[in-house]
Amino acid sequence: MKRKRRKRHPVRKAVLGLLVIFFCTALGAGTVWGMKGYGMYQEALTEKPLDVRVEEVRNREDFTPYSELPQFYIKAAVSVEDHRFFDHWGVDLIAIGRAVWNDIKAMSFVEGGSTITQQLAKNLLFTQDKKMERKAAEVFAALEIESNYTKEEIFELYANTVYFGSGYYGIGEAARGYFGKSPLELTDYESAMLAGIPNAPSAYSPDTNKELASRRVNHVLKSMVRHKLITREEAGEIEKSFPFQ
């Protein structure tokens, strides 16, 4: 007896077709963005090599070496910005996958999935414009940065180039501008605040909105608890000492 062929459900067939089209479109777009990004990356290096840019940062008056960064600030920033920083090779594929999925759901560029290394690449080499080719350029730059500098050097450079709001670039300017002290003198709650500001400097700066600054510190501390960097009790004690509640 001849077996009857099972008819493929029309809806399932349509969904499969759409997935194939989406995959091919994404692959083609990714190739184009990748080529443009590589060109942008090479253009930036031609304008000024990476090592020259790094030395310029290190020669700044307010440059703060890694040894003078509070350990609490380092843990807080890594926790909230890139908790796999010390394990990845400059690009976090898990974070990128999550970001792409969220962007697709929102039908907008709402999440970037950038690592601390990619953020450093952006600060050193590129503009802040949210363009796909720039994101691709960040990847190429991040790979070069990771191959030439240690994780400690990368975080050091990140902390000295990131924008902290209110016109402060780098943790040295931010610590003195907001608290009137050097980075090494920062308390835990001050470190948590500075770790949280770069996500949205204009919103989380205590000069702009003390309530939002307080909420952001709370978010940073919860992230640190979630990643087992501090206990709930320690987070609670730090929250109580926060002056803008």
φ/ψ of residue 243, rounded to 5 = -80, -10
pTM over 0.85? The answer is no
Amino acid identity of 186?
A: L
For 202-234, what is each residue's pLDDT tens digit?
999 999 999 999 999 999 999 999 999 999 999
Name the superfamily (CATH) of residues 165-245.
Biosynthetic peptidoglycan transglycosylase-like (1.10.3810.10)
SS3 163: strand
Instruction: Give the pLDDT of residue 46.
Output: 93
Instruction: Give the pLDDT of residue 110.
Output: 43
List where CATH 1.10.3810.10 sits in the chain: 165-245
Residues contacting residue 180 through CB under 8 Å, at least 6 positions apart? none
From 48, 77, 45, 39, select the one nearest 174 (Cα to Cα).
Answer: 77
Residues contacting residue 242 through CB under 8 Å, at least 6 positions apart? 189, 214, 217
Instruction: Give the pLDDT of residue 37.
Output: 75
Please, are residues 79 and 229 in contact by the beta-carbon 8 Å criterion?
yes
The pLDDT tens digits along the chain (245 residues) read 555 554 444 544 444 443 333 333 333 444 555 677 788 889 989 999 999 999 999 999 999 999 999 999 999 999 999 999 999 998 887 756 554 544 444 444 444 558 999 999 999 998 766 666 778 888 999 999 999 999 999 999 999 999 999 999 999 999 999 999 999 999 999 999 999 999 999 999 999 999 999 999 999 999 999 999 999 999 999 998 776 55
SS3 19: helix
Residues contacting residue 195 through CB under 8 Å, at least 6 positions apart? 73, 76, 77, 79, 80, 81, 220
Instruction: Give the pLDDT of residue 136.
Output: 84
CA pair distance 95, 82, nearest whole angstrom:
9
